[in-house]
Structure 1
Amino acid sequence: MIETILLALGLVLILEGLVYALAPSLIEELLKALQSLSIAQRRQIGILVLALGIVLIVMARQFR
């Protein structure tokens, strides 16, 4: 279990690092776009991403 958590965390950090390394100006644009959204819209996006993450985890566990 702990190895799966560490693997997932490592993959997230790799993806985050790639975005910052390859497109730092894109991060600034994304933050500006997020500021234009209401808190409710940001919360809905967060819930949607959370749900998508759970679905991907369940799918990955099915292939195991």
Structure 2
Amino acid sequence: MAAVACGFFDGAGSFDTLTLPIKDFDGTTVRTFVAKLDEWSICWVKSRRGLDPVPVVGRFVDGAGT
């Protein structure tokens, strides 16, 4: 297994990749935070199915993601 994570936009975004050679699977997530909207989102891309078309979206309330 190999995993790599990297941030961008001065901490407002990140992406990571995961490779599982035994399962013949690769995946990537892209996370973003829009401070003006106080909203975060996560998108998944999977080697077998491609991009999941609907991101998960939420907010932070009292320091916890919802």
Structure with bigger gyration radius: 1
Fold shared per TM-score above 0.5: no
TM-score (norm 1): 0.30
Which one has the bigger helix percentage?
1
Higher relative contact order (CA 8 A, sep 6+): 2
Which one has the bigger strand percentage?
2
